[in-house]
Amino acid sequence: MNRPEARQFLGDFFAGPGDTGTASAGAELKPFLDLVLSLKQNLPLSIPLLRELAGLITDREQKSPGEVKQETGPILGRMDRRYQRLCRIQKELGRLDLKKAAQENSPDTALEDYVFSRIDFSRYQTMNEKEFEFLVPGGLTDFSEAFFKKNFRLGRSELQSLIKRSYKKTDGVYRIQPADQWENSLILSVMRTLETSLETLPLFTAEEIQDETENLLGFVEGSAGKRSILPGMKRLYPLLVSGLDNVHITHADGMTTRLFISAGGDLSGTFQPGGKPWTVTLIKR
């Protein structure tokens, strides 16, 4: 398909009826996804989300991020970080002896205080390369600017700079450098949050899809850097969300996460950290 044909196709596609039900989303999306998948990777075109979503929806199952590390895009990266957070939480819950806690602690001791007292913050003082680079910078992108401001009174870029200058890498190991007590406590708290918090951004947003779709339109028009807007472009986002219904993603440890559209219309995922099912909302309707 040449550029004029692609431009005409996109105009017709976005002018369609816009049925976003899960039963029809895959069939309606197929021509668009085929177009995206037909575009060569070396083209001067930045549409990583659209490319990866096209593969996920078309194939309905992907290899694990660990098996295709170099090809893993933003969706699989975000999914794997969510899974790893659940694995960490599940592992720590498995170590808690709540019966013993009830016997040893007074009735005035809150469960949250007991759980907090059992957190091993020392693990964030020395981290292997894989663990550290899993959290920074990728993990920082999983949370909103408002989230960081609310919890740490610093923005994402400020925290990234703080972490970068606070750790030194030697022989594949990141070690936190001596600093004042407040700064070290802050860094350990941030790293803990990046590894365990479930208050993440949506798996992908309408704004991200809009931005990439404008890039695609600018490319097929042959106007480098120019972005176009067509009527009906906003209908692509709910179609893509619905198209992920019943997609399965296999993680590096062999566990599989199933995506599905809930009764309320949310995109959810059932993860299996430690073989225990956890259902998490990934995109709210």
Mean pLDDT of the residues in the chain: 86
Residue-wise pLDDT for 71-109, tens only, equals 578 999 999 999 999 999 998 888 776 565 555 555 554
* Confidence grade of residue 49 (pLDDT, cut at 50, 70, 90): very high
- Residues in contact with 275: Cβ distance below 8 Å, sequence separation at least 6, in sequence order: 255
**CB-based contacts of 139, cutoff 8 Å, min separation 6:** 81, 194, 195
Instruction: Supply the DSSP symbol for 177.
Output: P
Residue 38 has pLDDT above 80, yes or no: yes
Specify the pLDDT at position 232. Answer: 86
Assigned token pair, 253: 């440890």
What is the per-residue pLDDT across 208-232, written as a single tens digit (0 to 9) for each? Answer: 999 999 999 988 888 765 567 788 8
Q: Structure tokens of 281?
A: 């909302």
Task: Indicate the range of 29-33, 58-62, 93-97 predicted with least confidence.
Answer: 58-62
Single pTM value for the model: 0.86
| pLDDT at residue 71, as a whole number | 52
Alpha carbon separation from 220 to 77, 78, 187, 216 (Å, rounded): 28, 29, 45, 6
In terms of Cβ atoms closer than 10 Å to its own Cβ (0-12, 13-18, 19+), residue 197 is: middle
Question: Which of helix, strand or coil describes residue 176?
Answer: strand
CA torsion sign, 171 to 87 to 257 to 49?
A: negative
Q: For residues 249 and 259, is the Cβ–Cβ distance under 8 A?
A: yes
List of E strands, the chain: 61-62, 126-128, 167-170, 173-176, 248-250, 256-261, 267-271, 278-283
Q: How far apart are CA 281 and CA 285, in angstroms?
A: 10
Residues 14 and 232 sit within 8 Å (Cβ to Cβ) = yes
What's the rounded mean pLDDT across residues 106-117? Answer: 54
Question: How much is the pLDDT for 69?
Answer: 39
pLDDT > 50? residue 70: no
pLDDT band with cut points at 50, 70 and 90 for residue 67: very low
